[in-house]
Structure 1
């Protein structure tokens, strides 16, 4: 039996601007560990990715529409980055509500790069230590969190949270993700 067998891991995104390796590397890690990866977005169809926020990436099919997903459907949640993705996602009321409900249920959440913007919007960073793309440090501090410059920061107060700074951190992020989600 693999570490994540029987676990449903939701990857929550907007419909565009998702940093491709921040979606695909954790997705592969979840699948390799026996988990079920589910792509959830506000609309049916496909989401589009980018590389380095500029170069077009691939398109990926949406498995479930955000409005049809509840915290009870989720064993763990991943929020990939991408500046446009993260900025759009934090304005999506259903996305913020789902992230908050998953965290309040004590289930693990992982966010990378600009992904923690949704955690800020959901009011989940107060008293937590986390990392992100450096430009979010002030947002995290203003929301009551402690920003730390580290490749994979885990904080288990209130709910298990894993954060990383950027695609360079993906090896550490994916290893910790499987460990935390198991």
Structure 2
């Protein structure tokens, strides 16, 4: 059974999280704490310390959410417009999709893709198309070709593993 992510409001929170990542001292492992602090600071600044509201993006009205995003943008002092941030978030989503496809292929041949890029990059670097680069350094326009090369690499490794297994079972 697949579950759908619960959505409270029909709003895109990508801008909020995009700006949140740019806060000085941002730590991905503490994203919930940082998010709560930013929302609470906004509510305290707007309504005072005894605002009595739940600290959650879903509890904000659309107007409050827009004000929060503008306030967060001012805090991180970003001189970009909304369109360029949306484009960056879109590129990040595309890159993430290609990474998922590449990781899926590599996991077929038994490569551990859970603990980061170290093991994956070792195999990626061995491919001629990568020219010795690691995965995050490869431009997004080259990821489709890299994916094809990874598929071929994995298919060849699987054939080799099956051949070795057949030879071993004969002996």
Higher-Rg structure is: 2
User: Shared topology, TM-score over 0.5?
Assistant: no
User: Higher strand proportion, which one?
Assistant: 1
TM-score (norm 1): 0.20
Name the structure, 1 or 2, with higher relative contact order (CA <8 Å, separation 6+).
1
